[in-house]
Amino acid sequence: MQHYLQKLLNGNKLTQDEMTIVAHSLFNEEISDSEVASVLTALKVRGESVEEITAIVEVLREKAMPITKALNNVMDNCGTGGDGIKSFNVSTTSAFVLAGAGAKVAKHGNRSVSSRTGSADVLEELGVALDFTSDEVEHLIDTNGIAFLFAPYVHHQLKRIMKVRQELSVPTIFNLIGPLINPVALETQFLGVYRRDMLMKMAAVLNKLGRKRSIVVNGAGHMDEASLAGENHFVLLEEGELIPFTLHPSEVGLNTYSNENIVGGDAKVNAQILLDVLHGKPSPYYETTLFNAGIGLFSSGIATSIKDGVDLARKSIETGCALEKLNHLIDYSQKRKKKEIS
């Protein structure tokens, strides 16, 4: 470990095989918290390479709760966090719209780390369980089109890393890889990053991880979601090709709003925002959800264009399909809770 740490501290990149060794070592109790922090800090200062990110993702997926059933055409939509905007739960809200429009979504998420309220916080507030087993995840994706995978539950070995991350109080490689370590074998993904310089790099990682098609976004104001505030920067991964493009919300018929208009609050506040959106209440939150869900539907191949995706997202909400997906998840969670009590 000391050899590789010194190499990192000297500003050198590790090969994918070397980073695989380091990644395994990070979860070894013989390695001190200070050594873990040193690795994370050195990677951040120098800048994480495609090979380093891919290696640590593959190790974490290898150690995760196994999802053994073959699930076809499953996607995830998630931002890395770290943008400092403290928005409402954009990707979580959008996930139900995606499912309501016919996508199969394995929504991987966590409690708040760099924002005020994480996906797990708001879903727990709504009554969704955070401890679905592998069989339940598979069943829910098959029957409801969406399941939630709580990162600390499906990645037991992350507990120690989370402690070090919180003590560092700065975004690390784990902010970047959080959306990549979903244990479900994803075919497509819509990924938001808070660093614009990481767009091509993260798209390249998705390619190495075997995604057939994906979109990576850095939004206006460097948001880790698509933003209504102005021009958004994207990279489309299509059959191994990385295609950069930009998009303004006005190009798909949406209004322009400052990022200040989509600031969220605590879990209770964000849960109400999510419900208001799924009930179709007009607001900047609603249009932001349409934008992100529309891009997600284009990323998954369900929509032929982002404009078409926005229209399908609106229909998902207006028909009540998106809300049905949430209600099913809540009802399932409450029924299993009653069984546990009895």
- Among candidates 262, 60, 238, which has minimal Cα distance to 156? 60
83 appears as a binding residue in the annotation? yes
109 appears as a binding residue in the annotation? yes
160 appears as a binding residue in the annotation? no
135 appears as a binding residue in the annotation? no
DSSP conformation class of 10:
T
Residue 255 CA to residue 123 CA, distance in Å, equals 28
79 appears as a binding residue in the annotation? yes
185-188-193-196 Cα dihedral, nearest 10 degrees: 130
Look at residue 68 and give its three-state secondary structure.
coil
82 appears as a binding residue in the annotation? yes
299 appears as a binding residue in the annotation? no
- Among candidates 28, 74, 272, which has minimal Cα distance to 182? 74
115 appears as a binding residue in the annotation? yes
90 appears as a binding residue in the annotation? yes
Q: Phi then psi for 222, rounded to 5 degrees?
A: 60, 40
- Contact between 85 and 93 under an 8 Å Cβ cutoff? The reply is no
111 appears as a binding residue in the annotation? yes
165 appears as a binding residue in the annotation? yes
113 appears as a binding residue in the annotation? yes
73 appears as a binding residue in the annotation? no
224 appears as a binding residue in the annotation? yes
87 appears as a binding residue in the annotation? yes
266: Cβ contacts below 8 Å, ≥ 6 apart: 116, 117
The dihedral through the CA atoms of 70, 17, 206, 181 has a sign that is positive
How far, in whole angstroms, is CA 22 from its chain's centroid? 24
Binding site membership: which residues? 79, 82-83, 87, 89-92, 107-115, 119, 165, 224-225
Binding site membership for anthranilate: which residues? 79, 110, 165
Binding site membership for 5-phospho-alpha-D-ribose 1-diphosphate: which residues? 79, 82-83, 87, 89-92, 107-115, 119
Binding site membership for Mg(2+): which residues? 91, 224-225
